[in-house]
Chain A
Amino acid sequence: MKNNDRNGAAALLFHLLFMVFILAPLVVVCLVAFTPNDFLSIPTRHFSLRWFVALWGDDDFTSAFKTSMLLGVFSATLSSALALPAAMGLARYRFPGRDAIHAFLLSPLMIPPVVLGIAFLRLFTLINMGGSFTSLVACHALLIFPYALRLIMAAFAGQADDAERAARSLGAGRWTTFRRITLPMIVPGLVGGWVLAFINSFDELTATIFVAAPATITLPVRIYMSMAETVDPMVAAVSTAIIALTLVAMLVLDRVYGLNKVLVGNH
């Protein structure tokens, strides 16, 4: 690239302000979490871990955290298990109704989560399963399905089916071909899709708030409820923990799948 393609001073200033705008709220949350005071303030001289200690002993937050982790694991697994054959069918075969099924399976992205929450609540109230952990797993598996589907489909699309044809022509059965040839090729997409689905389950608030019962409150719902009352440094501490965990998840995604591919390709 030539010199005249470089950003000018004004462009760099704009970029700097934009980055401050994007990062300031997150940085502020992390700073406030280390305050030694009882109220919201940015610590200047003294940093303290007291709010993290308090968080560790807080049953409401720790049990919500456990619920969210378990919910994420179960729903991401269920979602991936359903998405794997669906992605293979959509990526490898042309059949009547394919486009309609594809659109149907991506539709949770287009439906406002409030509407989904209300619809789930109505269904589970009518069949007397309201608030159960099982119902939450089912709801989340549906909500996060498109993320798993897209990454697994991309993995299928990126691989030619030559190796599979070769295996079949050499006498391997359908199942052996799938297990020994197809599956190893799409593992990065499968793992990437699982992690992305897990993250989206872990983050989900709006639909969950309708279906969670007091015993199955997730972490975002717990944070929402305590923020609706009062914002104290404990909420900042739990949010800081979430930001740290998300960074870890981003590193994992980067290793197994490539973070840029997840963030940019997920479009």
Chain B
Amino acid sequence: MSTSPTTSTRAAGWSLTAPATLFFGLLLAVPLLLTFILSLQGFDANLGGILDSRSLHNYAAVLSDPYYYTIFLRTFVLSLLVTVLCVLIGVPEAYFLFRMRDPWRSLCLVMILGPLLISVVVRTLGWSILLGREGVINALLLKLGIIDHPLQMIFTFGAVTIAMVHVLVPLMVLSVWTSLTRLDPAVSQAARSLGAGRFKVMWRVVLPQITPGILSGSLIVFALTASAFATPALIGGRRLKVVATTAYDEFLGTLNWPLGAAIAIVLLLLNVAIIVGYNRAVERRFTRRLG
């Protein structure tokens, strides 16, 4: 591999990546551009749908109408809550898992990460069977005589939070696991032999080293919660709308495509801004500490 690109490696690199790049241009760049143009157009159900005008009024509507910014706020709070919970349970789990021995270690890791390969709809179904009015938990509690009428668990904010944590916590475990495997066990052993207690080793030696893993896991969990559709739609129901389900309703329910497109573009921009901003902030912090 040559370090300074010669004409031949340049041509080879470009021509090999050209088919995929062209495909992405046609199926990603063009559709996103079309969606942006759509978001500038007007809508009137009486005049036959999408109007051929160009303005930012859909964005003004999304940003000024309390109905919409409540939805954005709810999505933000949900994402924050899910991220915090994933850190609280995912980080210790990854650490305990790391200290286990094979075959248990590999087996548990596969059981935790395997569900990532199963459709979110299936994982969400489990929660709606557990938490429904005629669901398993209510049936059990009624049978045991702990309650005398079914609890309302499904279609609540709490239920959406729990189901989202279940869907995404494997990614936090994975992220922390990856940084744990890079850890040098000699450092922890040195700390122990110098008299540090078990808790102190975890807090002062292990935690600082796995912080990058926790931070990148948090970003993934946050971004995926913010754009989640299936779980909020099925567990939250009609009343507890989030951004993704609102965009869906505008498109396939009220058929106001331009407004739906504007919501989608805002969601995309916020997502990208959060990912880029977060990465910058984390990088700055770490370079300052190391440099």
Point out residues on A near B: beta carbons under 8 Å.
1-2, 4-7, 11-12, 14-15, 18-19, 21-26, 28-29, 32, 39-42, 82-83, 85-86, 88-90, 92-98, 101, 104-105, 107-108, 110-116, 118-123, 126, 138-139, 141-142, 145, 149, 161, 199, 202-206, 209-210, 219-220, 223-224, 227-228, 231, 235-236, 239, 242-243, 246-247, 249-250, 259-260, 263-264, 267
Contact = CB atoms under 8 A, between A and B. Distances in A.
Interface residues of B, number: 97
A113 B122 CA distance: 18
A228 B119 contact: no
Contacts of B234: 224, 227-228
Contacts of B175: 267
Contacts of B100: 7, 15
A231 B13 contact: no
4 residue pairs, one from A and one from B, having the closest CB atoms: A25-B126, A89-B16, A112-B227, A95-B13
Question: Which secondary structure dominates chain A's binding surface?
Answer: helix
A105 B230 contact: no
Nearest to A121: B251
Contact of A89 (B13, B174, B244, B248): B13
A114 B265 CA distance: 10
Nearest to A204: B119
A220 B32 contact: no
Interface in B1-51: 1-3, 5, 9-10, 12-17, 19-21, 23-24, 27-28, 30-32, 34-35, 38
Interface in B108-159: 108-130, 132, 134-136, 139
Nearest to B37: A122
Nearest to B223: A110
Contacts of B27: 120, 123, 138-139, 141-142
Question: Which secondary structure dominates chain B's binding surface?
Answer: helix
B198 interface: yes
B190 interface: no
B16 A122 contact: no
Interface in B62-93: 89, 92-93
Nearest to A148: B20
Nearest to B220: A267
B210 interface: no
A62 to B, nearest CB: 17
Given A112-B244, A115-B267, A242-B118, A40 B129 contact: yes
B271 interface: yes
Given A23-B111, A24-B130, A98-B13, 16 more contacts: A5-B188, A15-B108, A25-B123, A25-B126, A25-B130, A107-B24, A118-B264, A119-B35, A122-B35, A149-B20, A227-B121, A231-B125, A242-B119, A246-B114, A250-B114, A260-B109
A21 B58 CA distance: 42
Nearest to A27: B126
Nearest to A88: B16
Nearest to A222: B121
A42 B130 CA distance: 10
A227 B120 CA distance: 13
